[in-house]
Structure 1
Amino acid sequence: MTDTPSAMHEAIASLSAPRRAEVLVEALSWMRELRGSIVVIKYGGHAMTDPDAQLSFAADVQFLHQAGMFPVVVHGGGPQVSAMLTRLGIETPFVDGVRVTTPEAMEIVRMVLTGSVQRRLIGLLNRRDNLAIGISGEDGALLRAQRRRIGSDGSARDFGLVGDICGVDTGAVIDLLEAGRIPVISSIALDDEDPTQVLNINADAAASAIAAALHAPKLLMLTDVEGIYANYPDPSSLITKITVSHLRELGESISSGMIPKVDACVEAIAGGVGAVHIIDGRMPHSVLVELMTDEGNGTMVIPDPVLDEADTGDAAISLDTPR
């Protein structure tokens, strides 16, 4: 991999000097607003597999840190885990869209997430500044989970070592942030019933739980689509901003692949996160475009407005909250 200029770099280079200054001034206003804030980013999809996208993402995270923000990166690695399981001839069926994780498969999940995917990302983040440090959800009991035993239809199911988060201890993450580091967290959790065992958890859910526990004003989730569509897959139905209650009302019009992210959005907002941004990880520097420009990209999910107790009747909902 070489440090070839990205499309974003080339686009900036083509701008006139006055226009470059305008871009910097626009970014400055957002830097002022977000300086000192924790920004949790769920890293996945195309941004995790394409070499140019990997470099672009690493540069964005470095920028946020240098601009005075506190980025926290949470990652999964489903495709990489699947590839390794196939390579080793280990079969893992799926139930309700979830990988049934046997003890043998769990060892591979653990190895790939913390020993391969995470090391690759840390290497990219540390190309110029040695700030990124990798930890797992099991380190410092950061994430605790209970085994999933009930299927989507309400019946008993055997998912193996698959868990749902039931507790978060952010002590280790806060220690790293206070030391000026960039935490990079793999989505594995301790079994709440047996702390000697680890569980496979959904990375979107992990990012949501960590963002809520850190009281982060921003959670960004990278995807392989433009954002949330009101009528999937119609691109003209892309939603740029939506409240949680309106998001719930979309129901079955949301694509099945987006449901885990939508659930994570709802949980994050309920946990106190200021806004959740579902952005297109295929776009170069999508993190900076969303956070440092007025236009942004993708879909921003915000809390429902708080109504004054004196208000009666139906209140109009304003979506004028800045991106």
Structure 2
Amino acid sequence: MSDEKQEGQAQEGQGWATAKTLAEALPYIQTYDRSTVVIKYGGHAMGEEQVAKLFAADAVLLKMLGVHPVVVHGGGPQISAWLAKAGVKSTFVDGLRVTDEATMEVAEMVLSGAINKEIASWITQAGAEADVRGVGLSGKDARLITVEKVQRTKKDPDSDEERIVDLGFVGEPKKIDPKLIQALIYAEEDYIPVVAPIGVSATGETYNINADTVAGALAGALNAKRMLLLTDVAGVLDKNGELIRQLTVAEAKKAIADGVATGGMIPKLETAIHAVEAGVEAVVILDGRRPHAMLVELFTEHGAGTLICR
């Protein structure tokens, strides 16, 4: 058989395989038609530029398939890198960065400026042919996210008394006004909102917010069908290192209490629990570095991570 004939048969086989995949995905595409999916795109999951561009292309594809994606991004590693350049050492309490006024300025510059606009630009480039456009926002726009100052306490090892720890300009969502996001996702034009985790207090002060927390609060306010937490691990692992495919809220709480979930997975599970209790149908924790992870999760039978539901 000639090389040309073998190549033609291989291409034909790929074509049939693609058609089969699309046919199998149809029920799932119909399930998510006109549904809102909030995607937390984490600092570590952003990875290299090529991976980020694949993420942008997948977000555009979701929009073209009738899904309403809303992206909330992090940027902790990037903020740390900028602070290190400036000779500022980062301090954390319970995973939250202690944020003085100078640190807040850097955080807003990195999150609302460099990262936010870059992601929005990648989405716009990926969607150029279909006229799908990314729109960069922060929680300060149209008072999307009104925050209150985070309060944390630590036990003093000497006196064994609880003392208040001042985290500076670190906030948590007090009120979400989703009208701006809804106006964008339901517009005649195809927009994908990209939200930086920066909020504003009732008195107009700017606050840094944990991006997972923002994604969960926004997903609840938008009554999202799914929230995807893209991170740098496959999902929640059991004590043998195997991926747990699905957890109820009760099982997720037990995984935290029993020490199955450890380290950075604990706040992600807590965010997932809060989002489901706020009305989100389900939350999925998955590895955002894997190409097309979102598509595998939403449009295949077995998904790509750990699903947390009622």
TM-score relative to the length of structure 1: 0.85
Residue 234 of structure 2 aligns with which residue?
Answer: 226
Paired residue for 2:253? 248
User: CA distance change for structure 1 residues 242 and 104 in 2, over 3 Å: closer, same or farther?
Assistant: same
Question: Aligned residue for 1:149?
Answer: 151
Q: Please list, as runs of the form range in 1=range in 2, the aligned pairs for 1:145-294 lying within 5 A after superposition.
A: 145-151=147-153, 153=155, 155-179=163-187, 180-192=190-202, 194-195=203-204, 197-231=205-239, 234-236=240-242, 238-250=243-255, 251=257, 252-294=259-301
Please identify runs of 4+ aligned residues in structure 1 that moved more than 6 A: none
Q: Structure 1 unaligned runs (5+)?
A: 1-11, 304-323
Cα distance in 2 between the residues matched to 1:155 and 1:122:
42
Separation of aligned partners in 2, 1:14 and 1:74 = 40
Aligned-partner residue type, residue 264 of structure 2: G
What corresponds to 1:308 in structure 2?
none
User: Cα–Cα, structure 1 residues 15 and 268, in superposed 2: closer, same or farther, change >3 Å?
Assistant: farther
Question: Secondary structure at 1:181's aligned position in 2?
Answer: strand
- What's the CA shift for 1:130? 4.8
Give the CA deviation at 1:21: 1.4
Q: Is the 8 A contact 1:46 1:53 kept in 2?
A: no
Counterpart-to-counterpart distance in 2, 1:103 and 1:16 = 56
* Among 113, 118, 121, the residue aligned to 2:116: 118
The answer to whether the 8 Å contact 2:201/2:207 transfers is yes
Shift of 1:93: 1.8
CA distance in 1, matches of 2:270, 2:179: 25
Matches of residues 46-85 of structure 1 in structure 2 within 5 Å?
46-85=44-83
Q: Percent identity?
A: 39
SS at match of 1:27: helix
Structure with greater strand share of residues: 2
Contact 1:101-1:162 within 8 A present in 2 as well: yes
1:129-140 matches, within 5 Å, as: 129-140=131-142
Shift of 1:274: 0.2
1:211-241, Cα deviation, whole Å (9 max, x unpaired): 000001110010111100132xx422x1101
The DSSP-based 3-state class of the residue aligned with 1:185 is: strand
CA contact 1:45–1:281 (8 Å) conserved in 2: no
Q: Structure 2-normalised TM-score? A: 0.88
Q: Is 1:92 equivalent to 2:90 in the alignment?
A: yes
- Segments of structure 2 that go 5 or more residues without pairing to the other structure are 1-9, 156-161
Residues 242 and 87 of structure 1, relative CA distance in 2, 3 Å threshold: same
Alpha-carbon distance in structure 2 between the residues aligned to 1:33 and 1:149: 40
